[in-house]
Amino acid sequence: MPIEVMWPRLIVNKILRRRWDSSNFVADFPYSSEDSPSEIQSSDQEPLSPKSVFEDVKNTKKYKVFVSTWNVGGVAPPDTLDMDVWLDRHNNPCDIYVFGFQEIVPLNTGNVLGAEKNRISMKWNSLIRAALHKNTNTSAQPQNQKNKFYSIKGGSSMNSNVPMGFQCIISKNMVGILICVWVKSELRQYIQHPSVSCVGCGIMGCLGNKGAVSVRFCLHETSFCFVCGHLASGGKEGDEKHRNSDVAEILSRTSFPRGPLYILPPKILDHDRVVFLGDLNYRISLSEATTRSLVENKEWNTLLENDQLRVELMEGKIFEGWQEGPIKFSPTYKYYPNSDAYYGCDQSKKGEKRRSPAWCDRIIWFGKGLKQKKYDRGESRLSDHRPVWAIFTVEVNTSREFKNCFLSDRFERRRSFEAFSSCDEFFCSGRASFRF
């Protein structure tokens, strides 16, 4: 029996590996090996002196990063969707914007097994572009050109009509999961080594109806990794173990190229700044009646004491070292469409499934150098989830010349990366579940 299950998985993995290649993503501009620092010092540079070699001057800058996650329930965004409402750019302008979405398409068989459809992801990127450039004097180009988004593979072509306020440095989707990163135009020259890694954890333990899309890039001398996940659903006792298993698979199977000098971090937790966002699907371990009563009375502390993700964070097993900011907003799931009423609260609708409210949509981070300033939710009624967003202040190492990197903390960490090897093939060992 194990052999019968293994062969389909191996075949599916072989097919998906081509589609989820680390160089197959969308961006406004192409990238090449020329964007990477040179290994050999050029002849016109000042020669290294003993004093300069042993200098270890650390320069840092602080940037504001906006991170959001939203399960849109398979609903295509209307042209009138105003994302600027929850971006709040007037009160909280940021340097970097990271958008994560789940279920941008319905998770039916055709979308899970069929060819990747980019039309919806391009529509979301167009709306994001319009929101980021709203009320800004970006250029005198026609509006239909300004909001157009071009798909490229591996940075092989570029969009010459991109407004210069914000630029998309990387965008990738896997079935219903989409993540894209936008930066101020003046930061683009400091972005290096963008890459993606997709891990499916759904049907057969490897299809993309559940799983994560991770993106990596370096800003100045600091590496960033953003993981957009959609974990196993289910509100029954013990379902949280499936979610924990998905997280373990994502952390172990996600792999990035190490670069020509073999110094880039290959795994998620090897990066300097790491954020995990998405519909993590963790529920509240209380009865439905008790949960609804506490939600109505806004007794967040009591609910959070029984929140499955908070319990996992405190126990420090699969989420050892991860952090989450204080939650002071209502549960984000599950709502009636186009309503502020939680699903199942209408007693007149007999026979419908009862779904307890829960904070399914979360943003957590790992390591130092990240300080969360805000953590809140948006109020769009597009889907049965509400969007969640956070603003971080991040420290970034800058102006680290090649002569100094040998003495840096990151170089010491990089030497330990030799123990890791890049994964050309990924296998779904031990994942025989067949669930949506």
Residue spans per domain, the chain: 2-21+59-419
The answer to whether residues 77 and 127 touch, using CB atoms and an 8 Å cutoff, is yes
Residue 86's pLDDT is what? 83
Integer Cα distance of 330 and 59 in angstroms: 40
Matching residue, tokens 């937790």 = 269
Residue 305: CB atoms within 10 A of its CB come to 14
In degrees, rounded to 5, the angle at the alpha carbon of residue 412 between the alpha carbons of residues 411 and 418 is 90
* Grouped pLDDT means (10 residues each) for the chain, 436 residues: 48 54 74 43 40 59 98 96 86 96 96 88 95 69 44 44 80 97 96 96 92 97 97 94 97 94 93 98 96 96 97 92 97 94 75 84 96 96 97 89 42 43 38 40
**Cα 431 from chain centre:** 23
Instruction: Give residues with Cβ within 8 angstroms of 46, minimum separation 6.
Output: none
Give the pLDDT of residue 346. Answer: 67
* C-beta of residue 335 within 8 angstroms of C-beta of residue 267: no
User: 2-21+59-419 has which CATH code?
Assistant: 3.60.10.10
Task: Answer whether the bond into residue 172 is a cis peptide, omega within 30°.
Answer: no
Tokens representing 387 are: 């969007």
pTM for the model stands at: 0.81
d(CA 328, CA 134): 29
Local structure of 255: helix, strand or coil: coil
Nearest to 267 by CA among 259, 276, 258: 258
Residue 10's pLDDT is 52
The pLDDT score that the predictor gives to residue 345 is: 76
pLDDT of res. 262: 85
pLDDT at 21: 61
Residue type, 335: Y
- What confidence score (pLDDT) does residue 316 get? 86
Asked if 212 and 250 touch (Cβ cutoff 8 Å), the reply is yes
Give the β-pairing of 177-184 and 59-71. Answer: unpaired
* Contact assessment for residue 214 and residue 197, using Cβ atoms and an 8 Å cutoff: yes
Residue 269, burial from CB neighbour count under 10 angstroms (0-12, 13-18, 19+): middle
Q: CB burial class (10 A; 0-12, 13-18, 19+) of residue 368? A: exposed
CB atoms near residue 116 (< 10 Å): 14
pLDDT at 360: 98
What is the per-residue pLDDT for 11?
A: 52
The pLDDT, as a whole number, for residue 276 is: 98
- Extract the tokens encoding 202: 């759904």
